[in-house]
Amino acid sequence: MKQLMTGNEAIARGVYEAGVKFASAYPGTPSTEILENIATYKEIDAEWANNEKVALEAVIGASLAGARSFASMKHVGLNVAADPIMTASYIGVNGGMVVVTADEPGQHSSQNEQDNRNYAKFGKMPMYEPSTSQECKDMVIEAFELSEKYDTPVIIRMTTRLCHSKGVVECLDRKEVGIKEYVKDVKKNLAVPAHARVMRRNVEARMQKLLQLSEETPLNRVEMNDTKIGIIASGMCINFAKEVFKKDASYLDLGFTNPLPEKLIVDFAAKVDKVYVVEENDKYIEDHVKALGVTNIVKDALPPYGEMTPDVIRQSILGISREKVPYNKELVVPRPPSFCAGCPHRGAFYQLGKRKDIVIAGDIGCYALGFAAPYNAMDYSYDMGSAISTAHGFQKVLNMKEGNTKRVVAVLGDSTFFHTGINSLIEVAYNKSNCITMILDNRITGMTGHQQNPGSGFTLQGEVTEQLDIQALVKDCGIKHIKIVNPNNLKEVEEALDWAIAIKDEPSVIITRWPCVLKKLSEQDIEEFDKPFKEKCVVNHDKCIGCKKCMKTGCPALSFNKEDKKVTIKATDCVGCEVCKQVCPKDAIVKEAK
């Protein structure tokens, strides 16, 4: 049976066909759909974890117990899971273990562009880089075989284009793989220094065996055509390069990229006049080729960042730019991303942006858009869960300045709080900080597509489970001052900020609680929030004076007509959150008449 699949769907299919028993992940673009698709296979116990470290550690435990196990995450997620994966490389596996890292060349939805191939080299683990959906599926299956044969976790490195583009995949039956017996062996499985020093030697011996494999595997293959140009590439870059050069170049397509083959690279380079390495983004392969003494390599031919699309390759190597359709740039209206109409974050950021006496520490989620106009309500952002801990350090230093009255407000979502915010809040309470934390509880993991989390009350499969009470959790972290508000009620938000700022010497937490406007509401949501989003707002043009104050709420349902100087609310977008209604000085915005 053949099916059209994205790379993510093909990875999931490979996990199924490989006989995997357990899989865990934390949602993160571009990797999210991998676990969502794995969850459709009833033979696999698939679950969302609250962060990538926890996910990988659960997978390590499943592997140790004897089952084939799998974890997936976006590139920055592997930073969170770096601690366990490094030691897992030393200890090895019982049941096969594979980890997918989905990298983001071009930074479409990420805060950096790190190249996670370096993790494979750093951690001394074998790595695959598929270039098609079919290879995604096939390499997963082979990776599990290799994992068990060489006693190692295996990394599969994906990129955004491969994750989300589609190709034909031949689907086969699942291979049922039994659960291996667990045998207690502390010298193998317990990484105290005396044992780890032996493990370290074993890792080097393993890498030597894998080096020989990299020379022989058909996943590293040569395609000889015209010999004036030789292209060495991996992953999607081989497809990009072939689109440009077709048969006018020869190719070394590297699918198994740690360790990299040495003899194969040298032999290929000797057969062509010039060698170009096409890769995203670090010079992972190029540096290796240089170290092998290849002299006909064209160094630094391509940019060190961004996607190596055909246009980039064509311009960088051939100096050719494709002809573009001319247009008047002055007529193009900039359309920056914005909160959805009715987003519960809007009221919070509207009020935060009005404050001049605060520094706002941001985090990773939809709410990162709070930095932009019209709110201008965020000073900085680093990584998942960093808002609270950076706010703590920032506030500590501000407090050292004589006469300081500025306060730091950390802003993060409910899923981010569960991910890595809890530890930071404990740090705040333990070290007697006086920073303010605002947890934006929109009842779901919003940015990556509405995945369940520990606060939603449902598992990945939609089963009812324990629902974490954020207020109780915050209290147990040591916070005494807690207030819950409806973010659509601007007065409540304003009063909560006044309340928190008035608490001079202790930390406080404001929880904004309202469901994401796009969320499929549960029975609990409907009961708690009294059927939100049921009545739309309209503008009474007789009362509207064109002051545009409502436009400062940033709602995309609002538009201003320059000719009659009136605001209109688009009925198809409005959900009746009433944020604009509350800021109108002339009561020109009213609920739609039934």
Q: Tell me, what CATH number does 356's domain have?
A: 3.40.50.970
- DSSP-H helix ranges across 65-159: 75-80, 82-91, 117-123, 133-150
Please give the Cα distance from 120 to 444 (Å, whole number).
33
Residue 106 belongs to some domain of the structure: yes
What is the residue range of 177's domain? 2-216
Residues 62 and 204 in one domain: yes
Query: Which of 216, 235, 259 marks a domain boundary?
Result: 216
| Residue 185 resides in a domain | yes
**Same domain, yes or no, for 89 and 163?**
yes
Provide the pLDDT confidence category of residue 533 given band limits of 50, 70 and 90.
low
Q: Are residues 391 and 477 in the same domain?
A: yes
Q: Do 415 and 354 belong to one domain? A: yes
**Same domain, yes or no, for 236 and 175?**
no
Quote the pTM value.
Answer: 0.93
Q: How confident is the model at residue 333 (pLDDT cuts 50, 70, 90)?
A: confident
The reply to whether 328 falls in a domain is no
Same domain flag for 262 and 117? no
- Percent of the chain as helix, strand, coil, to the nearest 5: 40, 20, 45
Q: What is the pLDDT of residue 336?
A: 83
332 within a domain of the structure (yes/no): no
Q: Are 234 and 127 in contact (CB under 8 A)?
A: no
Overall residue count recorded for the chain in this entry: 594
Q: Indicate whether 30 and 102 sit together in one domain.
A: yes
Judgement on whether residues 469 and 578 belong to the same structural domain of the protein: no
**What total number of domains does the chain contain?**
4
Give residue-wise pLDDT tens across range 494-521: 999 999 999 999 999 999 999 999 998 8
Average pLDDT, the chain: 96
* Tokens found for residue 416: 């981010």
Please give the Cα distance from 74 to 414 (Å, whole number).
Answer: 19
Mean pLDDT value across residues 392-408 = 96
pLDDT at 181 over 80: yes
Instruction: Flag whether 268 is in a domain.
Output: yes
CATH of the domain at 311: 3.40.50.920
Is the residue at 324 inside a domain? Answer: no
Over the stretch 537-562, which tens digit does the pLDDT of each residue have? Answer: 999 999 999 999 999 999 999 999 99
* Interacting residues of 21 by C-beta distance below 8 A, sequence separation 6+: 43, 44, 45, 62, 67, 68, 69, 95, 177, 179
* 304 dihedral zone (left: phi>0; alpha: psi -120 to 50; beta): alpha
Residues 6 or more apart whose CB falls under 8 angstroms from that of 225 comprise 247, 248, 249, 250, 251
Q: Can you give the CATH number for the domain in which 571 is found?
A: 3.30.70.20
**Are 303 and 365 part of one and the same domain?**
no
Q: Determine the Cα angle at 110 with ends 106 and 364, to 5°.
A: 165
Same domain (yes/no): 171, 93: yes
What integer pLDDT is reported at residue 526 of this predicted model?
A: 87
* Measured distance CA(360)–CA(377) in Å, rounded: 7
Both 359 and 461 in one domain: the answer is: yes
Instruction: Let me know whether 306 and 208 are in one domain.
Output: no
